[in-house]
Amino acid sequence: MDLITVEVPLGDRTYPVVVGAGASSELAALLPRTAKRAVVVTQDGLPEVDPGVPFEVATIEQGEQHKTLATVEELCRTFARYGLTRNDVVIGVGGGMVTDLAGFAASMWHRGVPVVHVATTLLGMVDAAIGGKTGANIPEGKNLVGAFWQPSGVICDLDHLATLPPREVRCGMGEMAKYHFLTGDDLLAMPLAERVARCVEIKAEVVASDEREGGRRAILNYGHTLAHALEIATDHSLAHGEAVAIGLIYAAQLGRVLGRIDDGRVAEHQAVVRGGYELDTALPQGLDPGELLTLMSRDKKALDGLTFVLDGPNGVEVVAGVPASAVREALAVHAAS
């Protein structure tokens, strides 16, 4: 069993991410030494884990409509009934929804208890489980309520990917495609374990340089401004990674409208997202551009008017004050492409 360990370097809070087939066998070794019990947060049908200490299972409902503060409250009440102390541990087993909610609940219980994540989806492995961003949705937007709470460790067991339905795989591929434009690495040329580990390395380096998204970390949201708006506008019938794939091409189109990149760079985006990862990048039919514009204006990055992460001569960076006219023009271009 060849496992790859990548460290997220955060000083005395540095933690390992273990990648590879069979990586779940390392779970007990990642728990804090003080932990005498655990609560495993998961969903029906997901792999069972053995943390090596007594544990209770808290099962949350499937579906983005359950990624709410009510679910976080119920998790905290489970912690209370089980008698979870500040020295114990929460273990999130699942995809991004599970790790977001488990991490958020852990950040609040007793004002912070350790959390370890076992990512069971490709999206969770390359993005959601790593970096300490947790959150829940409210009707006004996705992940608008949350906390920064770094895990004590993360497991990325590639064996879990074999059981994923095709749509879940596409979701992970959409998020993975993003990393091509942050570094220029040819990730498609790598074996899967190395590709996942490389995505983790890229994210770890960015997180270490800007843990609380005060600046550079926002580049990890490349393609996400429209993606989050699409998820809300479609009542989450469009999954996150699917929306990110569309958002990546839209971000390229917006960069072209603003004169930041040329047609050749837009074509590179299409070659990776459509060609390499075989993802659908068409805008869903029947959406109101005005509604999308309003939703994008509520994005967490929007500190100075409409704000996007865009490619350009200096690479991918945050761009504030984007004119609404350019946003609408790029939507029209994307719809016609």
Q: Is 111 a catalytic residue?
A: yes
The catalytically annotated residue of 117, 228, 269, 334 is 228
What is the sign of the dihedral through the CA atoms of 99, 284, 307 and 139? negative
CA-nearest of 43, 96, 68 to 241 is 96
| 8 Å CB contact between 34 and 53 | no
The catalytically annotated residue of 33, 48, 111, 314 is 111
| 8 Å CB contact between 281 and 253 | no
Q: Is 142 a catalytic residue?
A: no
Q: Is 86 a catalytic residue?
A: no
Q: Is 133 a catalytic residue?
A: yes
Q: Burial, 141: exposed, middle or buried (Cβ in 10 Å; 0-12, 13-18, 19+)?
A: middle
The catalytically annotated residue of 213, 242, 269, 301 is 213
In whole angstroms, give the CA distance from residue 123 to residue 255: 25
The catalytically annotated residue of 67, 203, 256, 300 is 203
The catalytically annotated residue of 67, 117, 133, 198 is 133
Q: Is 334 a catalytic residue?
A: no
The catalytically annotated residue of 117, 240, 269, 300 is 240
> What stretch of H or E contains 18?
strand 15-20
Name the packing angle between helices 289-297 and 324-336 (round to 10°).
Answer: 130
The catalytically annotated residue of 160, 217, 256, 301 is 217
The catalytically annotated residue of 67, 160, 170, 175 is 175
Q: Is 228 a catalytic residue?
A: yes
The catalytically annotated residue of 67, 201, 221, 269 is 221
In whole angstroms, give the CA distance from residue 247 to residue 292: 12
In whole angstroms, give the CA distance from residue 154 to residue 18: 6
The set of catalytic residues is 111, 133, 175, 203, 213, 217, 221, 224, 228, 240
